[in-house]
Chain A
Amino acid sequence: MNSIVKYVLQFIVLILLQVLVVDQISLGYASQFIIPYVYFLFILMLPLTVSNGALMLLAFLIGMMVDIFKSTPGMHASAMVVLGYFRPYLLKLIEPREGFDVLKTPSIYSMRRSIYLGYVSLASMVFHLWYFTLEVMRFSDFHMILLKTLCSSIISVLLIILAQYLTVKRK
């Protein structure tokens, strides 16, 4: 019960953080390429035992909420569902030889630091690549999509790692 309240709070806080703080960051000329998103951290923080269906449903819900705030119907929801679908595969890809401790939730302290960094970077790349492809919606500008994905991913991984150090308690 306690953990459900925790995840609901995370859901709300991450959406508000995204639309009221991170979206207001302006980097002048560079803000053409650097449009970081951090709210997908919600999906990354869910326990390893969550089923694929629940993962995608939660991803869809949080994506739709951000869409509601940004008046971009379906765009964030679609990118989040992609991330929700690929999360188990990403985890399998970076799984260390001894495997993950399924009782712990993924965070920078419960995994090895390099593995967590890989997990967040891959997820961020998947999310941003799908999102910017939908946004630009033409393959003649593919270099633009890649540039945006790369620049935005770097910044959002930095923000997420920072947020982990600031909020997650070391155990």
Chain B
Amino acid sequence: MNNLFKFIQKYSSFFLFLGFQLVCFVFLFSSVNSYHHVSFANSSNIIAGGIYEASSNVSGYFHLSSEVEQLRFQNADLKKKLARKKPLIEDEFTSPLDTNYLQQFDFLHAKVISSFKNGRKNSVTINKGANDKVKPEMGVIGTKGIVGITTSSSGYYTYVKPIIHEDFVLEVIHEKSKSFGFVKWTQSDDWRTATVVDIPNYVEVNPGDEILTRGSNGLFPMGEMVGYVISVEDIPGDVYLKVRINLAEDFSSVYNVVVVDNVLKKEFQDLKSTQN
């Protein structure tokens, strides 16, 4: 027994080192939904959120003009879409009270207060939280394309898992052929690109083609921009293509975003749960 104590005392700093590493690894390898992870995210929202918001209030002014330009484009686009929705009856536009026009998605505007793009587990933080009814598992769309999915929120802040996170998976469609696949962020991608897998190799995919959201899990509306094809790789012996895409959203300057709330999500999930 005495020898044991002597042994521990002699290598005390090494045992301390192991102890600290164990604590770190519990955090590091706990799954995203575990208690450790969620409590870490909540406390980090409280501490880091305020400081990031203060910094973003200053840095936000630097790219104001380009941001306004993008919003103008988006506005024009939305107006065009709206005009098509409202039929012209006699002299004025009317919105018909028709269930065909039932609004499925609600949009909440938010600002990005911090974002990281150089690591493998990147993150984006936005300045809306549970007080604004932002919940985990909601889609987030930027001015140019989709940004990611919310993972956890505190009162005023929410973490978003962006496309450029190694655990990100989303069902997408190839616009021309309507065939679908999954967008992933693989080891060979940087913050400007992503990879679409599971598109069959008989589909003709060309560089420049649009990749859109499929809307299959109710997080995003159907047909939101994800990115443009840059290259297509047909792997010998595999029935699926590996499509490299350029992400539509620029993660170096993501600032104005909208959070998507699917009003019918609960109904959709209930339906799904009755199936199995």
B residues contacting the other copy or chain, number (CB 8 A): 38
Check A68 against B43 for contact (C-beta < 8 Å): yes
Contacts of B27 in A (CB 8 A): 67, 73-74, 77
Majority SS of interface residues in chain A? helix
For residue B14, which residues in chain A have a CB less than 8 angstroms away from its CB? 85
Min Cβ gap A41→B in Å is 20
A95 within 8 A of B: no
Which of these binds chain A: B34-42, B88-96, B102-110, B196-204?
B34-42
Residues 108-137 of chain B, each 1 if its beta carbon lies under 8 Å from chain A, else 0: 000000101111110101000000000000
A23 to chain B, nearest CB (A): 7
Check B44–A77 contact: CB distance below 8 A.
no
What residues on B are CB-neighbors of A141 within 8 Å? 187
In the bound complex, residues from chain B placing their C-beta under 8 Å from that of A137 are: 120
User: In the bound complex, how far is the Cα of B148 from the Cα of A71, in angstroms?
Assistant: 15
Q: How far is the CA of A115 from the CA of B203 in the complex (A)?
A: 61
Contact with A along B230-263 (1 / 0, CB 8 A): 0000000000000000000000100000000000
Residues of B contacting A31 in the complex (Cβ-Cβ under 8 angstroms): 117-118
A52 sits at the interface (CB 8 A):
yes
A71: min CB distance to chain B, Å = 4
B-contact 0/1 string along A55-88, CB 8 Å cutoff: 0110010010001111111110110011001000
Total A-B Cβ pairs within 8 A:
98
The complex places the Cα of A70 from the Cα of B190 at a distance, in Å, of: 18
Residue of B nearest to A75 (CB): B28
Q: B47 contacts which of A26, A68, A136 (Cβ < 8 Å)?
A: A68
Query: Is B120 touching A71 in the complex (CB atoms < 8 A)?
Result: no
Q: Which residue of A lies closest to B116 (CB)?
A: A70
Q: How far is the CA of A56 from the CA of B14 in the complex (A)?
A: 10
**A35-B119, A56-B16, A74-B26 known; A20 vs B48 contact (CB < 8 Å):** no
Do B120 and A135 touch across chains, with their CB atoms under 8 A apart?
yes
CA distance A99 to B37 in the complex (A): 45
A81 and B44 contact, CB distance less than 8 A: no
Q: Are B20 and A74 within 8 A (Cβ)?
A: no
Are B48 and A69 within 8 A (Cβ)?
Answer: yes
B159 close to A (CB within 8 Å): yes
- Contact among A53, A67, A74, A136 with B120 in the assembled complex (CB-CB below 8 Å): A136
The residue from A35, A71, A73, A138 contacting B118, defined by CB atoms under 8 A apart:
A35
Q: Is A16 close to B, CB under 8 A? A: yes
User: B264 at the A/B interface (Cβ < 8 Å)?
Assistant: no
Name the residue on A nearest B40 (C-beta): A73
Which A residues lie within 8 Å of B30 (CB)?
Answer: 73
Contacting residues, chain B, for A16 (C-beta < 8 A): 51
Binary CB contact string for chain A from 28 to 54 against chain B (1 if under 8 A, 0 otherwise): 010110010000000000000000110
Further 13 A-B residue pairs, CB within 8 A, beyond A71-B159, A77-B23: A19-B48, A35-B118, A53-B16, A67-B40, A69-B48, A69-B51, A71-B41, A71-B44, A74-B25, A78-B24, A135-B120, A136-B187, A138-B187
4 smallest beta-carbon distances between A and B, as pairs: A74-B27, A74-B28, A78-B24, A73-B27
